Amino acid sequence: MSNMDQVLRKAVAAEDLPFAVAMAANRGGVTYSGAAGETAGRNAGEDTVFRIFSMTKAVGSLAAMILIERGKISMDTPVADVLPAWNDLKVLDGWNGEAPILRSSNTVATVRHLATHTSGLEYEFWNADVSKYLELTGKPSMLTGTLASLMSYPLTTDPGTRWGYGTGIDWLGRMVEEIDGRRIDAFCREEIFEPLGMSSTSFEPDSLTDRLCDVSIRGEDGHFAPFELAPPRQPEFYGMGHALYSTAPDYLRFLRMVLGRGELEGARILSEDAMGVMCSDQMNGLAFRKMVTVVPALTADFDPFPGARVGHAFAFMRNGVDIPGRRSAGSLSWAGVCNTHYWIDPLRDVCAVIMTQSLPFVERRLMKVYAAYEEAVYAAL
């Protein structure tokens, strides 16, 4: 325990992170909880509320998996069968000067493609062509929270042909709404958060504001400065790629449910078989591709385990080999853009989070802290 505490304290003292909250657990319960630093005038701790951004994606994928288990859809259901507007999306196939060259897709996008980031949709932060397209067309970003923003992003490849990190889970959440009839916030609250006891997880920060931490960005002088970044308030639709606020203990309950193969403390969210499918590789032979930044102030490049095969399950990134001193093959992970990170190692029965609110995402200094914390977690097993 002292080793994990020391990692956090040293990181904050060195300004590798502005502050940190970290926790670890197994199927039976919490095995470590620690924090270092201050945020919003308070000591960081278990009650600190974070904008978890893309950690929302696993929740959105679970929502879809619940409907799959109930027979409402399948992984191979075409997106356009539920959301016909999908067929209006075109593939960006190059440029004629400043004019985009667009064509129809040669393949059919499915639920599986949305969940595994192989649908052809990519964020503007990691694809220069998409950034250029949005700038030239004036189309709204997904972070505007408008329904129109779903149609802003062209496809960059034919669905099912390449990994590309983007807005697929936002479409997946809309499919859940269309099929189930409930708005996605009500679905998640009733089907996931309330059964799991995630009482500090919400799509709006209203009841959490007094515990909400600050976001910082590293300036050219190397020091952190305040920065405003948050999911849109009261949007036209809640994007399941980014919309949630949560705490370390709450998200750890979600991770423990995954470790428990769909069950936590008597609350069963998915059957063991369905959870097994959700956590297995669903890439159909494709693999994760290094994410190369277009906006270095916001995010660094991301290649978590260079040289190792990394795939994607239905809800998580999935490493294909053991990482020495760290997670096992078949471990699951992802993160939020303000540097909230988690992993789940079913083989070793461990899950953990390390969370702050800083930019750039996955900068080298932060990732060294992440690795040191993970190594300390495994050394304590």
Residues that are catalytic: 54, 57, 165
User: 190 to each of 142, 197, 200, 244, 329, how far by Cα in Å?
Assistant: 25, 11, 14, 15, 33
Question: Phi/psi at 301 (nearest 5 deg)?
Answer: -65, 155
* Residue 25 structure tokens: 């657990």
Degrees, nearest 5: CA angle 298-299-305: 170
* Residue 215 structure tokens: 């976001």
User: 200 to each of 23, 196, 212, 227, 357, how far by Cα in Å?
Assistant: 16, 11, 11, 23, 17
Element (H, E) at 101: strand 99-103
Degrees, nearest 5: CA angle 309-61-63: 160
Residue 95, strand partner residues: 100
Q: How many CB atoms lie within 10 A of CB 204?
A: 16
Residue 136, strand partner residues: none
3-state secondary structure of 29: strand
CB 60 within 8 A of CB 176: yes
User: 99 to each of 153, 160, 352, how far by Cα in Å?
Assistant: 15, 26, 46
DSSP 206: G
Distance CA 191, CA 63 (A): 8
Q: How many CB atoms lie within 10 A of CB 222?
A: 8
The closest alpha carbon to 125, from 111, 135, 112, 110, belongs to 135
Distance CA 101, CA 99 (A): 7
